[in-house]
Amino acid sequence: MIERKGVDIASQACEAAGVKLIMAGSGSYIPSYGTYIGEISGLEKSRLISGATAMFAPTIYQEPFCNSHIEALASGTPVISTDLGIFTETIKNGFNGYRCNTLAEFVQATEDVKKLKPREIATDAFEKYSTNMIRYKYERYFNRLLSLWDKGWYSL
C-alpha cells in the first residue's frame, strides 16, 4: 500500500464507477475510498482474488514483474492495469483484462471486465506461467549463462 503501486488510481476509478474496492497488502498509504483489510495470504488471499470481478494493478512505475496479477489471472480474474512495464507483455486488452492510461479508461474497464471469460483467462495463465511451463524457460536461461564462460558465443 504505497503511492507508486497506484492505489489512488484504483480508489478514484472505483469511486467514479460506483464499484466496491477491497485493498489488501502491507504498507500504510490508504486512500480515502475503498476498504483496507490489511495483509492476507494463503487461502484467504486465494478466496479474495478468485471471488473478485477484477484485480487492479495500476502501478505508476516500470514494474518489472508483478506476481499478484499472475495469481489473479491463474484464478481466472481479469486484471485492470496501467499500460506500463510488465503489463504490456502480460495483459491483452479484451482477453484477460485491460491496460489503461486515463481515469475514463479505468472506469470503463470496471464494466468491460464483466464480459471476459474466466476459464479462458485461467487456462492461458497456466499455459504461460505455471511452474511446469516456466521451468523450461529457466533451464534455457541458466544454460545460456553457462555458455558465457570459456568460448561464450563460439561454444558449440
pLDDT score for 87: 97
The structure's pTM equals 0.88
Q: How far is CA 21 from the centre of its chain?
A: 16
3-state secondary structure the chain: CCHHHCHHHHHHHHHHHCCCCEECCCCCCCCCCCEECCCCCHHHHHHHHHCCCCEEECCCCCCCCCHHHHHHHHCCCCEEEECCCCHHHHCCECCCEEEECCHHHHHHHHHHHHHCCHHHHHHHHHHHHCHHHHHHHHHHHHHHHHCCCCCHHHCC
Rg (C-alpha) for the chain, rounded Å, is 18
**pLDDT of the chain along its 156 residues, tens only?**
999 999 999 999 999 999 999 999 998 899 999 999 999 999 999 999 999 999 999 999 998 888 999 999 999 999 999 999 999 999 999 999 999 999 999 999 999 999 999 999 999 999 999 988 889 888 988 888 887 777 776 777
Q: Which three cell numbers stand for residue 49?
A: 482474488
pLDDT score for 66: 86
pLDDT score for 150: 73
